[in-house]
Amino acid sequence: MDSAALPAFVALLLLSPGRLLGSAQGQFSAGGCTFEDGPGACDYHQDLYDDFEWVHVSAQEPHYLPPEMPQGSYMIVDSSIHDPGEKARLQLPTMKENDTHCIDFSYLLYSQKGLNPGTLNILVRVNKGPLANPIWNVTGFTGRDWLRAELAVSTFWPNEYQVIFEAEVSGGRSGYIAIDDIQVLSYPCDKSPHFLRLGDVEVNAGQNATFQCIATGRDAVHNKLWLQRRNGEDIPVAQTKNINHRRFAASFRLQEVTKADQDLYRCVTQSERGSGVSNFAQLIVREPPRPIAPPQLLGVGPTYLLIQLNANSIIGDGPIILKEVEYRMTSGSWTETHAVNAPTYKLWHLDPDTEYEIRVLLTRPGEGGTGLPGPPLITRTKCAEPMRTPKTLKIAEIQSRRIAVDWESLGYNITRCHTFNVTICYHYFRGHNESKADCLDMDPKAPQHVVDHLPPYTNVSLKMILTNPEGRKESEETVIQTDEDVPGPVPAKSLQGTSFENKIFLNWKEPLHPNGIITQYEVSYSSIRSFDPAVPVAGPPQTVSNLWNSTHHVFMHLHPGTTYQFFIRASTVKGFGPATAINVTTNISAPTLPDYEGVDASLNETATTITVLLRPAQAKGAPISAYQIVVEELHPHRTKREAGTMECYQVPVTYQSSVSGGSPYYFAAELPPGNLPEPAPFTVGDNRTYQGFWNPPLAPRKGYNIYFQAMSSVEKETKTQCVRIATKAAATEEPEVIPDPAKQTDRVVKIAGISAGILVFVLLLLVVILIVKKSKLAKKRKDAMGNARQEMTHMVNAMDRSYADQSTLHAEDPLSITFMDQHNFSPRWRKNVYHGDNNSFFAISYL
């Protein structure tokens, strides 16, 4: 993290002489660090792919931490400036150790209020592999003092590992997570056990695999012990036992492993004092072999079958130590298995005219090493062609989804075989381009056979086939129509509901599988939830029945803002089918405001404020979200809004935006609904801010309409109701207001600019007239002298009146000032110009 983003430094840390196991003289051995010169000096690195970084606190530099935090140099994370769930990782250098060693460190998790600042996780990555779950962690407030923990990592050269300190911010976002004084010691840990080397385990698929972890050190009864998979999965311990007072063993069992379980595993133990972790051992799962191809038939006779095993191509793992042939009658339940040591095998003493299923079994070393049987070879010993076709089928029973069929008894004189197949084949066509054809083998000894899983109300074609290995005979087809059944569900995609405030329009389509003739539709509905807590939702469901040809219905007199659950089902003569459900929510209604018509809600009025009585609204379909007070400036040429029929102010406009954008209204306040449980006064113009809206003082010389509106908002729907509750007329006298110097200067500059422009224009006009009339002035000067003086007198009087009127207009604005008053205008010298033709006299004064 960039140090510039941290708060300003407020104190200077000094080295504490009481630091636990600290060293002020420098770094520890390779891999250790005291952070006196920062993590980089110890070859520690921040993770490039985490959310933020650990921060180095130096004893030689000021820091921003509270004074009760420990002094010195260490690494820290401030949870208050990060989002929950964000993580920072500090990576130690990769370590290749040849002998037993121990890593210990100091840590603390502190918050001034005792809250949970987050979690400190310790992860160990082996051979630059993926990050597994933490091998040790601590969560919650641990106090302001440093605590020590140890890591006993049993990973040795040529393997390498890397320890990673990870700080994870909690939801409280308060407090600090810190680490310090990391040591790599050349002797065993005292508080965490060291695991002996964990060996690889090899089993056949489907068998149980057991890892046995042996550790040296004192076993704590309450220590957590588990088997950690490289991909992050944790397996709980199955059994532990103490070998002696300094050594214990733990067993982990993986049930019925498959190829997906083949991975690297390691043993982990954790306590408050630290953690021990073993090396990664591999679980090797061997797949028992299985032939890819079925055995090949080389010869056939009435009592034998000659096959070739085809066991060279397999699925699974070798080596193969045993080959077996498994065979059985297809119509029987017994199975025989023969061991085979040759590529071909001859099955003797078989029944004639019998179908057999032959498979090959392969076995590899180890328990459970026999694979599944390979693909079957189904064949039959020789027999003769049947004599004739079966007679016409006799239909014994017809139901909606099944047909029972009778046939004549078939003896050897017809089949010409002791074993034969009697098959019923059927096919049918259905709507929506649905068709099916299938054949079912029947038991020749049964007098009746059932063809089931048929569609209702459908024509099904049936025929019987007599087959042996040498030929077949077929009967004529018989067409049967299945009976009606209850209809299928109404298609969920066809259900569509159109919402209004107090009604819902629901339409649907016929079931895809009517299974007969539809007689009616039944719709039951009930309210299940509502945005309005006043709406009862526990009432009994209501039911509506519609004719067979109805595909829509309008449900009236519903509550606004309420979700209704509809169940629609169709019926045939067999009854109702399954119901299809849909949830539809009515639109919310605008809140109902009390009737202000004909009633002035004004309680008190001053020159810059008006106090009105606000009365709470009644919610309709959704709770009140907010109340808003809207101020509209009255203009003489603007059409007045009618109370009760007006359109509400949907777009919130602040006073500043209305001034700059020319809006005729602005929001003076927005009040939470909890602020108005009962009628209460509110002062418009009290110069306060409500929910980000400034309520400025009203201008005395202006008139205003005061509107009160209530808003209900749920999800993406908002409804607003408003009413005019008061009107403030413009004041006849302006109160004395101290002018704003900034605005006064701005007005003076504008007035001075306008006045200067007028004077320049008049000057140019007089110069032009002077040049044109110069030749005539001398001749008529005497005659026009009297009249010109009289005209000058009138003009001066008119100018005085003009300035007086201008001063009167500016007096309406307390911040205005006239140009003459500002500059103490007075003539320094006067040049008189006489116009002889018009008997006029012009006087121009220059400053």
Q: Is residue 507 domain-shared with residue 523, that is, in the same domain? A: yes
Confidence of residue 788 (pLDDT cuts 50, 70, 90): very low
Q: Is 280 in the same domain as 143?
A: no
Residues 715 and 607 grouped into a single domain: yes
Question: Are the C-beta atoms of 277 and 223 separated by less than 8 Å?
Answer: no
Please determine, for residue 830, whether its predicted confidence score (pLDDT) is greater than 90. Answer: no
From the centroid of its chain, how far is CA 806?
A: 66
Instruction: Identify the domain boundary among 349, 381, 413.
Output: 381
Question: Among 109-123, 347-361, 687-701, 808-822, which is the least confidently predicted range?
Answer: 808-822
Residue in this structure with the two tokens 């009644």, named with its chain if needed = 618
CATH assignment at residue 349: 2.60.40.10
Are the beta carbons of 338 and 345 closer than 8 angstroms?
A: yes
* Torsion over CA: 22, 23, 27, 30 (sign): negative
Within a domain: 840 = no
Residue 779's pLDDT band (cuts 50, 70, 90): low
Predicted pLDDT of residue 134: 93
- The pLDDT score that the predictor gives to residue 136 is 94
627 belongs to a structural domain: yes
Q: Is the same domain home to 260 and 332?
A: no
Using DSSP's 3-state secondary structure scheme, residue 459 falls into strand
Query: Can you give the pLDDT at residue 9?
Result: 30
Instruction: Classify residue 488: in a domain, yes or no.
Output: no
Q: Are residues 519 and 455 in the same domain?
A: no
Same domain, 297 and 277: no
Provide the pLDDT confidence category of residue 306 given band limits of 50, 70 and 90: very high
Dist CA 703 CA 701 (whole Å)? 7
3-class SS of residue 20: coil
Residue at 212: amino acid letter? Q
Q: Is residue 736 part of a domain?
A: no
Same domain (yes/no): 165, 217? no
In a domain, 219, yes or no: yes
Structure tokens at 292: 């890819």
What is residue 63's predicted lDDT score, i.e. its pLDDT?
Answer: 79
* Judgement on whether residues 466 and 508 belong to the same structural domain of the protein: no
- Kindly report the CATH number assigned to the domain that includes residue 625: 2.60.40
Whether residue 472 is found in the same domain as residue 510: no
Read off the CATH number of the domain in which 60 is found: 2.60.120.200
Q: Show Cβ contacts of residue 750 under 8 Å, excluding neighbours closer than 6 positions.
A: none
Tokens at 820, concatenated: 């003459």
Q: What is the pLDDT of residue 826?
A: 35
Read off φ and ψ for residue 841, nearest 5 degrees.
Answer: -130, 125
178 & 109 share domain? yes
Confidence of residue 172 (pLDDT cuts 50, 70, 90): confident
- Two structure tokens written together for 838: 């018009």
pLDDT digits (tens, 9 = 90+) for 806-820: 332 233 333 332 333
Look at residue 340 and tell me whether its pLDDT is greater than 80: yes
Buried b (16+ CB within 10 A) or exposed e, 637-648: eeeeeebeeeeb
pLDDT tens digit sequence for 127-150: 998 888 999 999 999 998 999 999
- Range of the structural domain that residue 92 is part of: 39-185
Specify whether 356 is located in the same domain as 416: no
Query: pLDDT band for position 60 (50/70/90)?
Result: confident
- pLDDT for position 30: 76
Under DSSP, is residue 738 helix (H, G, I), strand (E, B) or coil? coil
Sheet with strand 322-329: strands edge to edge: 336-340, 322-329, 355-363, 377-380
Say what the pTM is: 0.43
**pLDDT band, residue 409 (cuts 50/70/90):** confident
Residue 92 pLDDT greater than 70, yes or no: yes
- Same domain assignment for residues 140 and 152: yes
CA distance 186 to 157: 15
Strands 147-153 and 274-277: parallel
Structural contact between residues 393 and 426, judged by C-beta atoms closer than 8 angstroms: no
Predicted confidence at residue 182, as pLDDT, reads 95
Structural domain contains residue 246: yes
Please give the helix or strand (H or E) that residue 53 lies within, else none: none
Residue-wise pLDDT tens digits, 591-609: 988 888 766 778 899 989 9
Q: How are beta strands 542-547 and 575-576 bridged, if at all?
A: unpaired
* Number of domains, the chain: 6
Distance CA 614, CA 247 (A): 79
- pLDDT for 825 equals 32
pLDDT attached to residue 445: 74
Using the 3D structure, point to which of 185, 218, 234 is the last residue of a domain.
185
**Is the omega angle on the peptide bond into residue 664 within 30 degrees of 0, that is, cis?**
no
Round to whole Å and give the CA distance between 380 and 454: 32
Q: Which of 248, 267, 286 is a domain's end point?
A: 286
Query: Residue 491 falls within a domain, yes or no?
Result: no
Confidence of residue 639 (pLDDT cuts 50, 70, 90): low
In a domain, 559, yes or no: yes
State the pairing for strand pair 626-633/704-714. Answer: antiparallel
